[in-house]
């Protein structure tokens, strides 16, 4: 739609459509970093305004900066909030719409809607984040790091200073989970605080807790919420002691804010993960997402309803074979909005209550095109906003009117990237389906390169996603961006094989304890189908690329006959040696579930570790191989890349190793991304062009 509008404008004002198309060009790394990342839309209670964040990149400074802007929903002047000189994130409306809480400079502030009367509410040593208003308007929840045995922030300051000035620096561990994701586990924990909007009454409501609220490393403000009367708060936490590293047993806790009781786990009967509580407007129910299988981090997320009067929970959509990834009540409590991945698209659904209760067997689809997240609902329930993106367009804020029959008046509110995109030739995904390993339907898609011309053939990059429980989605990826892979003149083929999310729980679980099995039948069948049905794809010039599990997949391919169809390979943060992976990774529940248990189990050694480990097939390596890893990746330690590179080099296979000492599982810093893309595009250009 955007491209058509831009072409129409050009034809009226300047030049014919065909000439505009000819002047469009392939995306460059400078363009990629110049894209403004739009996020976090927040509708005002009256539905007339929306706050959202805009993140930009300063390549020279190697930094990214986020600001918050305010725009009328009806369209009109955009202004930075609270003023043009202040960088703000996590802006949240007060229930009456008169005030906005936000974080700036690492602390919590409030200001009026015009940006005036600014007041700093916190001066905590570890900063403040994640503001959430109580519906009563008299409290704001937030999170800050503390030493659990410190009763005051002065104690936190002293402890932190002592740690910084010590001459000896050593990591000492008595339990696992001594490091997580990309950092060694700190002595501090994230605790939940509440404060009044005038800055008074700041207090830690989880004092002495030896756990994080919400659990790290990615939990945010979705992990806690107030009851409608503001007298209780529910939060997500994981308190499994020495079992933290191999347990996924996360719980929902409730806490009376008058100090009369300690936190109570309301989901302790379930040994899987329970998280992200949401109170119903009438206060009778707490919604939460629940995974039933202990230790399985990718189990179906069930939408559960906890009855506060009886203390009982029940699943609302037991026959719906999708995840309830996000959810929110309408203001009158008659509707639940749900975000869920369905066949490579994150869609917005709604569940409507009838006089007989929540009886719909499956929710109704409201928004399905592209990738849709971050839903926000006005207080009168008539207006919604959300983020929508696609493979050919970065995220924008959309708004619509919602009624009994669905949504109307859908319109795109933000246009920050229009001028840049008008210069670029980007192509949408083209979906296809084929028969997979079990005769089931498997989805894939192709993307044409910007240089595409009918009758010409183009080399191919075959993308394999990570997870392994993940998916290639119709999205503008901030790292593995399809347009950037296609830019040098490559056709893109991406398959969502078994293990992928959005096709039902059985399909997702089909990869566990079978890493080198049916998933590769799906991948090869998908590649064959794409090549057979798209004559412009050159089957004699194909490369494969993958990260995390996708990196494992590339490493597995490298030692097996399937490698013969590829001219070049690229592994990012990939698993190479399953035994080493088990002993060095931090989230042991993952390897326990995916491989069935530890490598010292003789049966598992035979059926998993000695069967599916790529390093045991290294003697077959012969395809040129680029190997990239982050040294701060504690999920898949960088020794995996070094071991892979050694095997390649000792056998004379053309190969290159790149280690980023300041990156974890993902390459995030702008200049590091520039190097990453230059090396990846250069590698495939060398062997495929």
Using one digit for the tens of pLDDT, what is the confidence trace for 51-76? 999 999 999 999 999 999 999 999 88
CA distance to 26, 294, 303, 344, 549, per residue, from 322 (Å) = 36, 18, 10, 12, 22
- The encoded tokens of residue 316 equal 């609302």
Mean of pLDDT values over 257-285: 96
Task: Kindly state whether residue 641 falls inside one of the protein's structural domains.
Answer: yes
d(CA 372, CA 398): 9
Q: 285 near 320, Cβ under 8 Å?
A: no
Q: CB neighbours (10 Å) of residue 171?
A: 8
Q: pLDDT tens digits for 577-611?
A: 999 999 999 999 999 999 999 999 999 999 999 99
Judged by DSSP in three states, 372 sits in: strand
Indicate whether 220 belongs to any domain. no
Q: What span, in angstroms and rounded, lies between the C-alpha atoms of 267 and 288?
A: 10
Query: Per this entry, what is the length of the chain?
Result: 689
Q: Measured between alpha carbons, how far is 323 from 56 in angstroms, rounded to an integer?
A: 32
User: CA 220, 221, 227, 230 torsion: positive or negative?
Assistant: positive
pTM comes to 0.95
Please state, as a whole number, how many other Cβ atoms lie within 10 Å of the Cβ of residue 195: 22
Average pLDDT over residues 302-316: 98
State percent of the chain over pLDDT 70. 97
Per-residue confidence at 23, pLDDT binned at 50, 70, 90?
confident
Distance CA 258, CA 596 (A): 46
pLDDT at residue 11, rounded to an integer: 30
Looking at residues 438-461, what average pLDDT do you find?
97
Query: Under a CB-based contact definition with an 8 Å cutoff, are residues 667 and 479 in contact?
Result: yes
Closest CA to 644 of 578, 562, 565: 578
Q: What is the pLDDT of residue 485?
A: 98
In this structure, what CATH number is given to the domain that contains residue 574?
A: 3.40.50.1820
Q: Using alpha carbons only, give the angle 237, 238, 240 rounded to the nearest 5 degrees.
A: 150
Q: Do the domain assignments include residue 429?
A: yes
| pLDDT tens-digit readout, 490-512 | 999 999 999 999 999 999 999 99
237 falls within a domain: no
Lookup result for tokens 């969502």: 496
Three-state DSSP class for 649? helix
In a domain, 678, yes or no: yes
In a domain, 673, yes or no: yes
**Residue 490, domain extent:** 425-688
Assigned domain for 215 exists: no
State the total domains in the chain: 1
Instruction: Work out the angle at residue 44's Cα, subtended by the Cα atoms of residues 43 and 47, and round it to the nearest 5 degrees.
Output: 80
Q: What is the average pLDDT across 78-86? A: 97
What's the CA gap between 541 and 313, in Å, rounded?
Answer: 55
Q: What percent of the chain has pLDDT over 90?
A: 94
Give the model's confidence band at 17: pLDDT under 50 very low, under 70 low, under 90 confident, else very high: very low
Task: Output the average pLDDT for the chain.
Answer: 95
Is residue 180 classed as helix, strand or coil in its secondary structure?
A: strand
Establish if 31 belongs to a structural domain: no
Distance CA(534)–CA(526), nearest Å, equals 12
Query: Strand, helix or coil at 97?
Result: coil
640, 575 contact by CB (below 8 A): yes
CA distances from 381 to 81, 222, 279 (A): 25, 20, 16
Res 15 pLDDT > 60: no
Q: Is 675 helix (H, G, I), strand (E, B) or coil?
A: helix
pLDDT 10s digits, 526-566: 999 999 999 999 999 999 999 999 999 999 999 999 999 99
Beta-bridge partner residues of 401? 383, 408
- Helix locations, 24-104, DSSP H: 29-34
Q: Is pLDDT at 9 greater than 60 in this prediction?
A: no
Geometric angle at alpha carbon 544, from 540 and 550, rounded to 5°: 155
Token code pair at residue 640: 């995996």
Q: What is the pLDDT of residues 173-220, one digit of tens each?
A: 999 999 999 999 999 999 999 999 999 999 999 999 999 999 989 999
Query: What is the model's pLDDT at position 394?
Result: 98
Q: Count Cα atoms within 13 angstroms, Cβ side, for 268.
A: 9
Task: Of 475, 459, 458, give the one whose Cα is nearest residue 545.
Answer: 459
Measured CA to CA, the distance from residue 153 to residue 159 in angstroms comes to: 10
Confidence tier at 13 by pLDDT (50, 70, 90): very low
Handedness of CA 102, 107, 112, 114 (dihedral sign): negative
Predicted pLDDT of residue 3: 34
Phi, psi of 385 (to 5 degrees): -135, 155
Taking the C-alpha atoms of residue 101 and residue 98, their distance in angstroms, rounded to an integer, is 10
d(CA 286, CA 406) in angstroms, rounded, equals: 25
**CB neighbour list of residue 186: distance below 8 Å, 6 or more residues apart:** 145
**Whether 522 contacts 495, CB under 8 Å:** yes
| Neighbour count for residue 241 (Cβ, 10 Å) | 10
- Mean of the pLDDT values across residues 611-619? 98
The residue-averaged pLDDT of 327-333 equals 96
Q: Please state, in angstroms and rounded to a whole number, the distance separating the CA atoms of residues 347 and 378.
A: 19
Q: Tell me the β-bridge partners of 112.
A: 99
Q: What is the pLDDT of residue 22?
A: 58
Say how many C-beta atoms besides its own lie within 10 A of residue 539's C-beta: 16
Q: Is 142 a residue whose pLDDT tops 70?
A: yes
Which residue's structure tokens are 């400078």? 30
Distances, alpha carbon 171 to alpha carbons 168, 174, 175, 178, in Å: 10, 10, 12, 8
Helix%, strand%, coil% for the chain, nearest 5: 20, 35, 45
């Amino acid at each position: 739609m955007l491209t058509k509008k831009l072409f129409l404008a050009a034809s009226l004002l300047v030049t014919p459509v065909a000439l505009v198309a000819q002047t469009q060009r392939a995306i460059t790394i400078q363009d990629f970093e110049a894209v403004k990342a739009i996020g976090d839309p927040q509708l005002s209670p009256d539905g007339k305004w929306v706050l959202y964040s805009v993140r930009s990149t300063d390549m020279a400074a190697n930094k990214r900066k986020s600001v918050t802007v305010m725009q009328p929903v009806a369209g009109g002047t955009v202004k930075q909030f609270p003023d043009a000189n202040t960088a703000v994130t996590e802006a949240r409306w007060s229930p009456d719409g008169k005030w906005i809480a936000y974080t700036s400079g690492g602390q919590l502030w409030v200001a009026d809607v015009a940006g005036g009367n600014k007041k700093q509410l916190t001066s905590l040593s570890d900063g403040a984040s994640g503001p959430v208003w109580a519906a009563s308007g008299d409290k704001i929840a937030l999170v800050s790091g503390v030493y659990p045995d410190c009763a005051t922030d002065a104690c936190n300051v002293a402890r932190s200073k002592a740690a910084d000035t010590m001459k000896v620096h050593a990591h000492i561990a008595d339990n696992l989970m001594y490091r997580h994701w990309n950092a060694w586990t700190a002595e501090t924990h994230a605790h939940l605080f509440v404060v009044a909007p005038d800055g008074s009454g700041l207090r830690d409501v989880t004092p002495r807790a030896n756990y994080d609220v919400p659990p790290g490393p990615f939990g945010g403000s979705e992990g806690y919420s107030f009851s409608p009367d503001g007298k209780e708060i529910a939060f997500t936490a994981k308190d499994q002691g020495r079992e933290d590293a191999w347990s996924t047993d996360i719980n929902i806790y409730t806490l009376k804010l008058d100090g009369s009781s300690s936190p109570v786990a309301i989901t302790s009967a379930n040994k899987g993960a329970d998280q992200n509580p949401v109170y119903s407007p009438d206060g009778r129910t707490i919604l939460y997402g629940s995974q039933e299988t202990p230790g399985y981090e990718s189990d179906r997320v069930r939408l559960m309803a906890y009855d506060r009067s009886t203390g009982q929970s029940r699943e609302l959509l037991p026959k719906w074979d999708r995840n309830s990834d996000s959810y929110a009540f309408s203001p009158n409590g008659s509707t639940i909005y749900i975000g869920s991945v369905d066949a490579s698209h994150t869609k917005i659904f709604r569940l409507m209550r009838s006089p007989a209760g929540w009886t719909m067997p499956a929710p109704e689809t409201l928004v399905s095109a592209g990738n849709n997240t971050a839903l926000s609902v006005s207080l009168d329930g008539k207006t919604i906003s959300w983020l929508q993106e696609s493979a050919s367009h970065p995220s924008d804020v959309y708004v619509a009117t919602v009624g009994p029959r669905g949504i109307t008046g859908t319109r795109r509110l933000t246009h920050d990237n229009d001028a840049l995109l008008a210069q670029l030739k980007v192509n949408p995904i083209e979906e296809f389906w084929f028969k997979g390993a079990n005769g089931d339907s498997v989805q894939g898609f192709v993307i044409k390169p910007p240089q595409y011309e009918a009758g010409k053939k183009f080399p191919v990059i075959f993308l394999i996603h990570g997870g392994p429980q993940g998916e290639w989605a119709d999205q503008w990826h901030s790292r593995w961006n399809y347009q950037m892979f296609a830019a040098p003149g490559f056709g893109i083929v991406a398959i969502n094989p078994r293990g992928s999310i959005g096709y039902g729980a059985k399909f997702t679980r089909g990869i566990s304890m079978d890493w080198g099995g049916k998933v590769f039948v799906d991948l090869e069948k998908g590649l064959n189908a794409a090549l057979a049905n798209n004559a412009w794809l050159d089957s004699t010039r194909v490369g494969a690329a993958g990260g995390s599990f996708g990196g494992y997949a590339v490493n597995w391919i490298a030692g097996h006959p399937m490698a013969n169809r590829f001219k070049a390979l690229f592994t990012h943060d990939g698993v190479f040696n399953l035994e080493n992976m088990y002993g060095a990774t931090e989230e042991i529940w993952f390897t326990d579930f995916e491989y069935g248990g530890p490598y010292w189990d003789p049966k598992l050694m035979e059926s998993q570790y000695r069967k599916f480990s790529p390093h045991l097939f290294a003697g077959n390596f012969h395809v040129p191989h680029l190997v990239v890893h982050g040294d701060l990746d504690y999920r898949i330690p960088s020794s995996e890349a070094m071991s892979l590179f050694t095997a390649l080099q000792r056998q004379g296979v053309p190969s290159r190793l790149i280690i980023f000492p300041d990156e974890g599982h993902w390459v995030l810093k702008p200049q590091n991304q520039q190097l990453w893309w230059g090396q990846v595009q250069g590698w495939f250009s060398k062997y495929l062009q």
